[in-house]
Chains A and B, each alone.
Chain A
Amino acid sequence: MKKSKQFWPFILLAVLVYVVIQVLISTEMMNQFYSNTLILIAINIILAVSLHLVIGITGQFSIGHAGFLAVGAYVSAIITMKLQLPFAVAIIVGGVVAALAGLIVGIPSLRLKGDYLAIATLGFAEIIRIVFLNIDAVGGAAGMQVSHLTTWTYAFVCLVITLVVIVNFTNSRHGLAAISVRENEIASDAMGINTTYYKVIAFAIGSFFAGVAGALFSHNFYIIQPSQFGFLKSFDILIFVVLGGLGSLSGAVLSAILLTIVSTYLQGYPETRMIIYSLVLIIVMLYRPKGLMGTMEITDYFKLWRTPKGGGQHEK
């Protein structure tokens, strides 16, 4: 019940943000560079939030997210370029196929824990990449040409749907079950929670949205190549989640925005780009070892502001 109070203000805010930016774009007060950065931010937020569901909520340390991004990217590209179907269909099918890939990868590998799971998911992501590398129909290493179809509207609608689905999942008995798996899998099992089921479901939902992000991604860059989906891409997504604070959705969103802006800005300085980017990461981790937001959400801060000083129950 409480959550529905937050829901409508959120939708209102989302519509407002959308309208303002859409007006700016259509009146050409905002140039191509900025609107492209905004689309990139939206894609990165979708990626960050979908991995947050797997790592932050369910506690399964998966570092192969770029694999599902690749599945979404290639499948959607095939649908628009080879089958000439509309982009909206491509987004949905890209997500569904990525979710299926998530199921196939997740069912065997989610029996593993911690480091072993990380290695297994990393391996699966590389397998997916190499499969695309060796399929000539999608261009192999040279890549595949994709027409530019991603607009601010598509990106933003997908972003809002992603956020709503993941927030609603988290704030339900299912989300609580997933969190209990993160907190203590043995106890969760002993409380009657089907832990395997929730791990696989979270993984599949995460993969679905990674696939959606992949569809937006491939139709934003004119060309996709397997080298764009290597393990470095997986680590980029992982960094969003860790830097934002494990278990904090708003943290993942914030750090995705922050890091996208930093890395876009640094493109003007290619020699020092990675050095400065790494320094930003080190500085944040030194001063905020639990990530930007820790385990807090933005809404928690609102609650703290409302309670009189020293009277809040969460004061620690």
Chain B
Amino acid sequence: MKNKPLLEVKNTGIQFGGLKAVQNLNMVLNQGELVGLIGPNGAGKTTSFNLLTGVYVPTEGDILFNGERINGLPPFKVTRKGVSRTFQNIRLFNELSVLDNVKVAYHSIAKHSIISSILRLPSHFSGEKEMEEKSIEFLKIFSLDKYKDELAKNLPYGQQRRLEIARALAANPKLLLLDEPAAGMNPQETKDLMDLIAFIRNKFDLTILLIEHDMNLVMGVCERIYVLDHGQLLAEGSPEVIRNHPKVIEAYLGEEVHDVNA
């Protein structure tokens, strides 16, 4: 089995006024795992992602990444620690080229200061060149380099998703959070996405947490699944266990259902 956990979520929750959006969330992700997070609409899946990435500060509990507390850190610091994400609604930098989209993620690898850029010191040129070269190299891995001068908004939908995942990976994460990557995709695009996920996992030595409604995808690629409902953890286990878990079936389909062939 895998060694120490990469991400530990301990009794975490968040309350908006009187509404407990997420409560008593406990999750453990080990190095290299691909874990799914599912649940009906409004169950708190995206809220959980926002807790993990620092968009929201949990009102209770702790989040440990690599043994370090990350709750309360602003999102950009969480990203620099190695947690990167994509969004449910694609959030690319639309008016920027594909290349520049990836370059933004390389922002923190170059170290030249604002002063050196304004005065065009040698460190500016070497830093910018390094960012440019790494970004192009990176686009090649995803065979997006042919679009590099295209504006992001002009890419076809499937490619935009691909670019968003590529951009998230360019930030060099140890943990990648994918928020409904297959939303709005046709079956062929979903299949390509599954291939892409398998590919990046091998290539980048990643741990992945995935929110998804497409059960084919979830059951097909995830090793373990967490189920959320009404902000609480309902079940946890392998796809087989989840498929036959009575509470999960109840949450998705209602009570008193027999003979379910999921």
B21 contacts partner chain A, Cβ-Cβ < 8 Å = no
Q: Which of A163-189 contact B (CB under 8 A)?
A: 164-165, 168-169, 172-177, 179-180, 183-184, 186-189
B41 contacts partner chain A, Cβ-Cβ < 8 Å = no
CA–CA, A210 and B234, complex, Å: 58
Q: Are A179 and B117 in contact (CB under 8 A)?
A: no
Q: Are A194 and B76 in contact (CB under 8 A)?
A: yes
Q: Are A176 and B107 in contact (CB under 8 A)?
A: yes
Q: Are A173 and B128 in contact (CB under 8 A)?
A: yes
Q: Are B104 and A191 in contact (CB under 8 A)?
A: yes
Q: Are B120 and A4 in contact (CB under 8 A)?
A: yes
A1 contacts partner chain B, Cβ-Cβ < 8 Å = yes
B105, B110, B120, B129: the one contacting A191 at CB < 8 Å is: B105
Q: Are A193 and B118 in contact (CB under 8 A)?
A: no
Q: Which residue of B lies closest to A184 (CB)?
A: B91
Q: Are A192 and B131 in contact (CB under 8 A)?
A: no
| A11 vs chain B, min Cβ distance (A) | 12
Count of B interface residues, CB-CB < 8 Å: 42
Contact pattern, A 1-16, Cβ under 8 Å of B = 1, otherwise 0: 1001001000000000
Enumerate chain A residues within 8 angstroms of B127, measured Cβ to Cβ: 173
Enumerate chain A residues within 8 angstroms of B79, measured Cβ to Cβ: 189-192
Q: Are B53 and A187 in contact (CB under 8 A)?
A: no
CA–CA, A180 and B114, complex, Å: 16
Q: Which residue of B lies closest to A164 (CB)?
A: B118
Given the interface pairs A7-B120, A180-B93, the reply to whether A189 lies near B87 with Cβ below 8 Å is: no
Q: Which residue of B lies closest to A247 (CB)?
A: B95
Count of A interface residues, CB-CB < 8 Å: 33
B75, B84, B93, B150: the one contacting A184 at CB < 8 Å is: B93
Q: Are A313 and B104 in contact (CB under 8 A)?
A: no
Q: Are A173 and B171 in contact (CB under 8 A)?
A: no
Q: Are A313 and B149 in contact (CB under 8 A)?
A: yes
Q: Are A176 and B100 in contact (CB under 8 A)?
A: yes
Q: Are B96 and A183 in contact (CB under 8 A)?
A: yes
Q: Are B91 and A168 in contact (CB under 8 A)?
A: no
Q: Are B76 and A193 in contact (CB under 8 A)?
A: yes
Q: Which residue of A lies closest to B164 (CB)?
A: A187
| B99 vs chain A, min Cβ distance (A) | 10
B80 contacts partner chain A, Cβ-Cβ < 8 Å = yes
Contact pattern, B 98-141, Cβ under 8 Å of A = 1, otherwise 0: 00100111111010101001111000110111010000000000
Given the interface pairs A4-B120, A173-B117, the reply to whether A190 lies near B103 with Cβ below 8 Å is: no
B94 contacts partner chain A, Cβ-Cβ < 8 Å = yes
CA–CA, A172 and B118, complex, Å: 8
Enumerate chain B residues within 8 angstroms of A193, measured Cβ to Cβ: 76, 104, 107
Enumerate chain A residues within 8 angstroms of B174, measured Cβ to Cβ: none
Enumerate chain A residues within 8 angstroms of B94, measured Cβ to Cβ: 183-184
Contact pattern, B 150-168, Cβ under 8 Å of A = 1, otherwise 0: 1000100000000000011
CA–CA, A189 and B75, complex, Å: 6
Q: Are B117 and A176 in contact (CB under 8 A)?
A: no
B92 contacts partner chain A, Cβ-Cβ < 8 Å = yes
Given the interface pairs A176-B100, A190-B85, A193-B107, the reply to whether A1 lies near B95 with Cβ below 8 Å is: no
Q: Are A168 and B93 in contact (CB under 8 A)?
A: no
Enumerate chain B residues within 8 angstroms of A189, measured Cβ to Cβ: 55, 74-76, 79
Given the interface pairs A177-B104, A190-B79, A190-B84, the reply to whether A169 lies near B92 with Cβ below 8 Å is: no
Given the interface pairs A1-B125, A188-B104, A313-B149, the reply to whether A179 lies near B110 with Cβ below 8 Å is: no
A295 contacts partner chain B, Cβ-Cβ < 8 Å = yes
Q: Are B104 and A180 in contact (CB under 8 A)?
A: yes
CA–CA, A97 and B244, complex, Å: 68
Q: Which residue of A lies closest to B152 (CB)?
A: A183
Q: Which of B155-189 contact A (CB under 8 A)?
A: 167-168, 171
| B155 vs chain A, min Cβ distance (A) | 14
Given the interface pairs A176-B107, A187-B93, A192-B80, the reply to whether A1 lies near B114 with Cβ below 8 Å is: no
| A315 vs chain B, min Cβ distance (A) | 12
CA–CA, A1 and B133, complex, Å: 13
Q: Which residue of A lies closest to B80 (CB)?
A: A192
CA–CA, A7 and B103, complex, Å: 23
CA–CA, A295 and B97, complex, Å: 13
Q: Which of A188-202 contact B (CB under 8 A)?
A: 188-195, 201
Enumerate chain A residues within 8 angstroms of B124, measured Cβ to Cβ: 172
Report which A residues bind B (CB closer than 8 A). Answer: 1, 4, 7, 164-165, 168-169, 172-177, 179-180, 183-184, 186-195, 201, 247, 295, 313-314, 316
Report which B residues bind A (CB closer than 8 A). Answer: 53, 55, 74-76, 79-80, 84-85, 87, 91-96, 100, 103-108, 110, 112, 114, 117-120, 124-125, 127-129, 131, 149-150, 154, 167-168, 171
* Additional A-B contacts beyond A189-B75, A192-B79 (18; CB < 8 A): A1-B128, A1-B129, A164-B118, A172-B117, A176-B103, A177-B104, A183-B92, A183-B93, A186-B55, A187-B87, A189-B74, A189-B79, A190-B84, A191-B79, A191-B104, A192-B105, A194-B74, A316-B154
9 closest A-B pairs (Cβ-Cβ)? Answer: A172-B117, A183-B93, A187-B91, A192-B79, A189-B75, A180-B104, A191-B105, A168-B118, A184-B91
Can you identify 5 A-B contacts, CB atoms within 8 angstroms?
A: A179-B96, A192-B171, A193-B104, A247-B95, A314-B149
